[in-house]
Amino acid sequence: MPAPISTPPLRPLRKSPPGEAQVWLTALGLTLGVTMVVGLLVLILVRGLVVFWPQHVTEFTLREGAASAIQGKTNVAGEVVRTQWRRDGGGEEVQLHIGNKDIYGFNFHWLQSLDIVSRHQPADIIAIERLEYGDAFGRPLALVSTDADPLPATDPAFRTRLTAAVQAAASVRHQITQIEKHDIGRINRQMTSLARAQKSTPQPDFPALQAALQAEYETLAARARDLRATLSTPSLQYKSPTGDEKSVTAGEIVRFYFPNELGLTGRIGIFFDRLWEFFSEEPREANTEGGIFPAIFGTFVMTVLMSLLVTPLGVIAAIYLREYASQGVIVRTVRICVNNLAGVPSIVFGVFGLGFFVYVLGSRVDQTFFASSLPTPTFGTGGILWASLTLALMTLPVVIVATEEALSAVPRGVREAALACGASKWQMIQRVVLPSAAPGVLTGVILAMARGAGEVAPLMLVGVVKLAPSLPIDGLFPFIHPERKFMHLGFHIYDLGFQSPDSEAAKPMVFATTLLLIGLVVLMNLTAILIRNHLRRKYAASTF
């Protein structure tokens, strides 16, 4: 006898049907993740961009004999960084960015609120960004030059004259850089190659050639010296808030402005001016000032190089694993090993890179191709090529796994069609399977890029430096210099935040650099995603 058909009663709609709680749980998980990511991004964005915004400068009058006064003076001025309550109940305290490091020896200072008598923001305070010692705040006194009378700050032409002087000095500095980096650099290289050639095959006219180069060098050096001398005048005399009279040459001034009388447009102008300087200039002052262009460029070149190295390697390996190897115990073991490689700490890859690429491969290359310049190593020391190779090795599992997945997702029908057309197995893989799998491969490359671009630890062993004298790609033959050391945003963050002599001054730069690193990774990933979407459209799988 068959079982009777069950007829459960039709119940009215419940307030929470079974399983609703789990839906909330999944939503909660997502919310938590999104909140943390967005929070981190907003924090970095705000703290990173605020660095470039010109702040007001507040002048404080302190009570007589205040404990938090500087050098016993009752006046102090600076940008207010933050205000906080003291834990020991001693009232409020204010952190100031007082600048004038050449006078005080420090950049930041805590003021006790109890000591403050009054605070105001005088319009005549000038903020000077200098090549050395960071910012200076004070009141301008006069523009002094050797060939004319001092121009007092009260003169209506004072600001235009100062602006002109600063601009003129900037162009002279640019000329000096050109001579020193470009022309003298060229002579240096010629001398080195001459000396190297002399070592292998002595030439009779070697001393004459050397003397000619030396003479050319002397002329250029003299020109640079003369230009540098013109930078010493005119100079700006100013008085610090605490009453010290100082002077700074126009050649030392990067930028000046009057922070308290600046309008919104002026502030925006300075904001973008500083932002551009940050993007495009080289660092100054132990990396805490100036720009980070070499680090941006180094990170970009290294990541691109790494992707170019890891993609073919990973794809070839995955093709063999998935398409050719018979799927037995050995292949399964290899696959597990490859996957576990992704879990090896990155510093281990760094050590391997140093030991194998730099010490073994690099020194071999030096002995074979650059024997004349030994004992100075060419490839036998850390460089962008070895760093990229190390990272390529580190990200290889990601590409292999993604490619294998993509290959196995290529429909059987298309493979059979290719074989039925008389294609060999390799022709089938190359002409049909790989194009279909390309978007999946790119997903792996995107993941690899994201991981590689942000990696720091292994790079410290194989070629990243605090300050690289030249870029890995430039206008000098052979244009790409894979042996050069390079700067990297990730290492720059570490260096600024933890190795810098003035960590308080470097802190804003840490945020700005982080922002830039994230931006760069996002930009490169977006490019790869666009390519992938293009391929997806092109090779859109039919309804298999």
Partner 1 sequence: MPAPISATTTPAPDDAPPPATMVEVRDFSFYYGAKQVLHSINLQIPEKQVTAFIGPSGCGKTTLLRNLNRMNDLIDGIRHDGDILLDGTSLYDPSVEVISLRKRVGMVFQKYNPFPKSIYENVVFPLRVAGRNGRAELDEVVERSLRSAALWDEVKDRLGESAYGLSGGQQQRLCIARAIANRPQILLMDEPCAALDPVATLKIEELMHDLKKEFTIVIVTHNMHQATRVSDYTAFFYLGKLIEYDRTAKLFSHPGNPQTEAYISGLFS
Q: How many CA atoms lie within 13 A of 267 on its CB side?
A: 12
Nearest distance from C-beta of residue 493 to partner 1, angstroms: 42
> Which of 148/417 has CB closer to partner 1?
417
CA gap 80, 57 in Å, rounded: 7
3-class secondary-structure state, position 15: coil
Closer to partner 1 at the Cβ: 328 or 501? Answer: 328
In the bound complex, what is the minimum distance in angstroms from residue 405's beta carbon to partner 1? 17
Dihedral in degrees, nearest 10, Cα atoms 25, 29, 31, 36? 150
Report the DSSP pairing between strands 283-284 and 253-257: unpaired
Question: Which is closer to partner 1, CB of 269 or CB of 411?
Answer: 411
Q: Which tokens belong to 162?
A: 């100062």
- The minimum distance between CB 423 and partner 1, in angstroms, equals 4
Give the nearest distance from C-beta 422 to partner 1 in angstroms. Answer: 4
Closest distance to partner 1 from the beta carbon of 538 (Å): 7
- Listed in sequence order, the residues at least 6 apart from 381 whose beta carbon sits closer than 8 Å to its beta carbon are 358, 362, 463, 483, 485
Tokens of 31: 């919310």
Query: Please, which residues bridge with residue 245 across strands?
Result: 239
| CA 270/CA 252 separation, integer angstroms | 18
What is d(CA 299, CA 290) in angstroms, rounded to the nearest whole number?
Answer: 18
**3-state class percentages of the chain: helix first, strand second, coil last, to nearest 5:** 55, 15, 30
Which CB sits closer to partner 1, 341 or 414?
414
Q: Closest separation between CB of residue 416 and partner 1, Å?
A: 6
Nearer to partner 1, 203 or 408 (CB): 408
β partners of residue 84: 93
| Cβ burial, residue 78 (10 Å; 0-12/13-18/19+) | buried
Characterize 232-254 residue by residue with b for buried, 16 or more Cβ atoms within 10 angstroms of its Cβ, and e for exposed. ebbbbbbebbbeeebebbbbbbb
CB of 285 to partner 1, least distance (A): 55
Q: How far is the CB of 327 from partner 1 (least distance, A)?
A: 9
Q: Which of 347, 288, 284 is nearest to 513 (CA)?
A: 288
Q: Please identify, using beta-carbon distances, which residue of 477 and 544 lies nearer to partner 1.
A: 544
How many Cβ atoms from other residues are within 10 Å of residue 335's Cβ? 19
Residues found near partner 1 in the complex (CB under 8 A): 411, 413-414, 416-424, 427, 431-432, 435-436, 538-542, 544
Q: How far is the CB of 430 from partner 1 (least distance, A)?
A: 10
C-beta closer to partner 1: residue 306 or 432: 432
> C-beta of 427: minimal distance to partner 1 in Å?
5
Give one DSSP letter per residue of 267-334, joined into a string: HHHHHHHHHHHHHHSPEETTTTEE--HHHHHHHHHHHHHHHHHHHHHHHHHHHIIIIIS--SHHHHHH
What's the closest the beta carbon of residue 312 comes to partner 1, in angstroms? 21
The least distance separating partner 1 from the CB of residue 435, rounded to whole angstroms, comes to 5
Cα-trace Rg, the chain: 32
Q: Which is nearer to partner 1, 65 or 328 (CB)?
A: 328
Minimum CB distance to partner 1, residue 542 (Å): 5
Looking at beta carbons only, is 374 or 417 nearer to partner 1? Answer: 417
Burial of 113 (0-12, 13-18, 19+ CB in 10 A): middle
Of 50 and 421, which CB lies nearer to partner 1 in the complex structure? 421
Q: What is the DSSP string of 210-264?
A: HHHHHHHHHHHHHHHHHHHHHTT-SEEEEE-TTS-EEEEEGGGEEEEE-TTT--H
Nearer to partner 1, 2 or 422 (CB): 422
3-state DSSP assignment of residue 348: helix
Cα 42 from Cα 44, distance rounded (Å): 5
Among residues 226 and 416, whose Cβ is nearest to partner 1?
416
Q: Which is nearer to partner 1, 191 or 419 (CB)?
A: 419
**From CA 201, how far away is CA 203, in angstroms rounded?**
6
